[in-house]
Amino acid sequence: MKDVLDLYRFVRKAIKKVITNNVSMTRKSLTARILKTFAFTALLTVTFMTAFSQEIPTDEANISEGKTLFNANCKTCHSVQNKLVGPALKDVYDRAPSVEWIISFVKNSQKVIKGGDEYAVALYKEYNNTEMTPFDSFSDEEILDILAYIKNETDNPEVVAEAVSETSEDAQADSAIPSTYLNAIVIGLIIVLALIFVVLVLITTVLTKYVNNKDLDKEDKEFVNQSFSIGATLSSKPFIFLVVFLFSAIMFKVVINGLFSIGIQKNYQPTQPIAFSHQIHAGQYEIDCNYCHTGVMKSKNANIPSPNICMNCHSSITKGTNTGETEISKIYDAIENNKPIEWVRIHNLPDLSYFNHSQHVNVGGVECQTCHGPIEEMDVVKQHSMLTMGWCVDCHRNTELNTKDNKYYDKLVELHKEDSDKALTVEDNGGLECAKCHY
Ligand code: HEC
Ligand code: HEC
Ligand code: HEC
Ligand code: HEC
Ligand code: HEC
Ligand code: HEC
């Protein structure tokens, strides 16, 4: 600054001198002064730029650090590819004013908006004045790591959907094979039976003809040539016995099937009061199961989310792609009338049994999908497993205990190693004791 003022004074003096014809100053010294000032300003700009403009890192380490930070702090409101509560973050470094702007916005967006920044104010308005959580405690490096992750996701979007649909088709093909076999076997049997029947009819006609040519007394002749009477057959004892036997066998099977399926509701898929889709929320937008089923890691029950949790997002998302405003507005009705949404319960164990989610998900490390199936592909949830005692017990027999990083199991693991070389299963830990599952 001082140099610029100096130059200005110097030039003014020079002009004065020229005007007053007192040209004692040489042209050389003027050029030198101008050059010096120019060099100084250039230097100043360069230091300013290097001090404040920051590069998005591209290292694997930064990207994975950024991914962790993003999932823990931003994922509830942002996705890289899709608009959620906040904008899709892909290319954000290209559309936002600068990387520095992003850093200060993430640290405290309200400060930037209140400061009157044009881009920030417009964005805030576009998102119905939704306030983004401030992240004051983040360092610049951490935010740059998040940007590194976003950039990586933008450039290499994951292709997961295809693999998933392929495996589910495989599964369908697997279950289709036995039923086609069964049909083929039945049809084959029917053909064989028909052939045997035809052969039998041929044999009897030939035999009748042969016997008729012999000398027979009257009684024998009558017997050989007796006509086949439908009425007589229907009222014959063997026939009645056969019918009664078949009928009771079928009834028996139906009743047994019915008895065995009491309380078993595999594939139960009721219509819900709001057309809530896991395929959209958990699949397409990858919202964590925990975000809504808040109890799953720490308590017996997984919990169904209250309308307030829906409102975290639906205060700003008022329209759905498939159902427009009709379904989402039911959330607002529930909030306004202070009435809970009456979700229909799908999974339900009888009261005599005890099941705990955190024990399985948190301690045991069992995936939701192992028991509930591919929920993230279901538009409407349906019960995937039998939920019978046999189902629980089977898994306890076959599943290894998750003993990693769990001091509680150290001693048990040692003891088990001493007298067995098989893996330590839930069964070995008393997972088949009646009292563990029954009150
Ligand atoms: C509570 C929800 C919420 C959370 C959590 C959140 N954001 Fe945001 N974010 C928003 C909203 C809403 C906007 C749109 C601007 C506004 O309304 O303030 C936004 C805007 C942004 C923008 C500007 C986007 C653009 O198009 O220019 C960036 C960058 C951003 N967020 C990054 C982050 C990062 C990084 C995190 C995690 C550390 C994060 N946000 C966490 C809600 C959130
Ligand atoms: C945005 C919130 C949200 C997310 C995310 C979410 N769910 Fe749900 N979930 C619900 C709601 C609401 C219901 C009740 C309505 C229904 O059955 O569709 C429900 C129902 C269920 C049920 C059936 C409960 C019953 O009645 O027996 C299961 C099982 C389930 N969710 C598992 C999951 C799994 C696994 C994930 C993660 C892959 C997940 N959910 C993610 C909101 C969510
Ligand atoms: C973390 C954010 C988030 C939460 C929490 C959330 N949703 Fe959504 N919801 C979305 C997004 C994103 C969409 C997709 C909007 C679109 O189609 O453009 C959506 C769409 C919907 C739709 C419309 C689907 C369609 O395509 O028509 C319904 C209905 C819905 N949500 C119900 C719920 C209910 C009920 C809850 C609470 C149990 C809930 N949502 C919680 C983000 C959320
Ligand atoms: C070991 C099997 C198993 C695993 C793993 C599991 N669940 Fe469940 N889930 C069940 C059973 C069994 C019920 C029925 C519980 C009852 O009726 O008491 C159930 C019920 C539910 C319900 C209905 C409401 C409730 O709390 O009873 C929801 C929601 C649910 N599970 C979500 C989840 C989510 C989300 C995960 C993963 C984080 C998960 N479950 C993992 C077996 C499992
Ligand atoms: C997919 C496999 C799987 C299924 C299905 C399953 N469990 Fe488990 N269960 C486990 C695992 C793994 C553990 C061990 C968790 C741990 O490390 O403590 C466990 C532990 C338990 C425990 C604690 C046992 C102990 O020794 O402390 C109880 C109780 C239990 N399960 C009940 C049930 C009931 C009831 C059902 C059926 C409704 C069921 N489980 C279905 C895998 C399963
Ligand atoms: C891993 C958990 C688990 C263990 C261990 C277990 N049960 Fe069960 N049991 C269940 C569940 C879940 C049900 C309810 C589901 C059903 O009706 O099939 C049940 C149902 C029952 C029923 C009701 C009859 C029926 O089929 O509805 C009886 C009786 C029973 N158990 C006895 C026992 C006895 C005795 C033992 C010990 C030898 C035992 N259970 C061990 C989980 C368990």
Cα–ligand 5 centroid distance for 362 (angstroms): 11
Q: DSSP letter at 324?
A: B
On whether the CB atoms of residues 404 and 434 are closer than 8 A, the answer is no
For residue 214, count CB atoms less than 10 angstroms from its CB and return exposed for 0-12, middle for 13-18, buried for 19 or more. Answer: exposed
Q: Is the CB of 361 under 6 A from ligand 4?
A: yes
Cα–ligand 1 centroid distance for 87 (angstroms): 7
CA distance 345 to 272: 9
On whether the CB atoms of residues 28 and 61 are closer than 8 A, the answer is no
Q: Which ligand 1 atom minimizes the distance to the CA of 147?
A: 35
Give the end-to-end CA distance of the chain in Å, rounded to a whole number: 83
With b for 16 or more beta-carbon neighbours within 10 A and e for fewer, the 124-139 pattern comes to beebeeeebeebeebe
How many CA atoms lie less than 13 Å away from 158 in the CB half-sphere? 11
Q: Which ligand 6 atom minimizes the distance to the CA of 432?
A: 5
On whether the CB atoms of residues 14 and 34 are closer than 8 A, the answer is no
Structure tokens that stand for 102 in this block: 């992003």
Residue of the CA atom closest to atom 28 of ligand 4: 302
On whether the CB atoms of residues 293 and 302 are closer than 8 A, the answer is yes
pLDDT of residue 199: 93
Q: Write the DSSP assignment of 400-415 as a string of letters.
A: BP--TT-GGGHHHHHH
CA distance 316 to 129: 9
The CATH code that applies to domain 60-155 is: 1.10.760.10
On whether the CB atoms of residues 146 and 69 are closer than 8 A, the answer is yes
- Among 65, 77, 111, the mutation site with the greatest number of ligand 1 atoms within 8 A of its Cβ is 77
Q: Residues near 414 by Cβ (< 8 Å), separated by ≥ 6?
A: none
Q: Is the CB of 296 under 6 A from ligand 1?
A: no
Q: DSSP letter at 429?
A: G
Domain segments of the chain: what residues? Answer: 2-52, 60-155, 193-226
CA distance 390 to 432: 11
Q: Tell me which residue of 49, 82, 258, 77 sits closest to 153, measured CA to CA.
A: 82
Query: What amino acid occupies position 357?
Result: H
Q: Which ligand 1 atom minimizes the distance to the CA of 69?
A: 38
Residue of the CA atom closest to atom 36 of ligand 5: 392
Q: Which helix H or strand E contains 230, and what residues bound it? A: helix 230-234
Q: How many CB atoms lie within 10 A of CB 104?
A: 17
CA distance 434 to 212: 76
On whether the CB atoms of residues 106 and 98 are closer than 8 A, the answer is no
CA distance 314 to 333: 12
Residue of the CA atom closest to atom 37 of ligand 3: 310
Q: Which ligand 6 atom minimizes the distance to the CA of 390?
A: 18
Q: Is the CB of 366 under 6 A from ligand 4?
A: yes
pLDDT, tens digit only, all 439 positions of the chain: 455 556 456 545 645 554 455 444 445 554 555 556 555 544 444 444 444 457 888 889 999 999 999 988 888 788 888 888 889 998 898 899 999 999 999 999 999 999 999 999 999 988 888 888 889 889 999 999 999 999 998 888 765 444 344 344 334 433 444 556 778 889 999 999 999 999 999 998 888 888 878 777 777 777 777 666 777 777 888 888 999 999 999 888 888 776 665 656 677 888 899 999 999 999 998 899 999 999 998 899 999 999 999 998 998 899 888 898 999 999 999 999 988 899 999 998 888 899 999 999 998 889 999 999 999 999 999 999 988 898 999 999 988 888 777 777 877 888 887 877 778 888 888 889 999 999 7
pLDDT of residue 162: 40
Ligand 5 environment, Cβ below 6 A: 349, 353-355, 359-360, 363-364, 366, 370-371, 387, 391-392, 395-396, 399, 401-402, 426, 429-431, 436-437
- Among 371, 378, 396, the mutation site with the greatest number of ligand 4 atoms within 8 A of its Cβ is 371
Neighbouring-strand partners of residue 353: 438
CA distance 10 to 38: 15
CA distance 96 to 113: 13
**Three-state SS letters, 152-201:** HHHHCCCCCHHHHHHHHHHHHHHHHHHHHHHHHHHHHHHHHHHHHHHHHH
Structure tokens that stand for 178 in this block: 């036995």
Distance of CA 309 to the CA centre of its chain: 18
Q: Is the CB of 438 under 6 A from ligand 6?
A: yes
Cα–ligand 5 centroid distance for 125 (angstroms): 50
Place of tokens 């024990």: 359
- Among 75, 91, 118, 132, the mutation site with the greatest number of ligand 1 atoms within 8 A of its Cβ is 132
Give the number of the ligand closest to the Cα of residue 306.
3
For residue 381, count CB atoms less than 10 angstroms from its CB and return exposed for 0-12, middle for 13-18, buried for 19 or more. Answer: buried
Query: What amino acid occupies position 85?
Result: V
Query: What amino acid occupies position 368?
Result: C
Cα–ligand 5 centroid distance for 360 (angstroms): 6
Q: Write the DSSP assignment of 344-380 as a string of letters.
A: PP-----TTB---HHIIIIIS---HHHHH--GGG-SS
CA distance 62 to 148: 7
Q: Is the CB of 107 under 6 A from ligand 2?
A: no
Q: Residues near 262 by Cβ (< 8 Å), separated by ≥ 6?
A: none
Cα–ligand 4 centroid distance for 83 (angstroms): 29
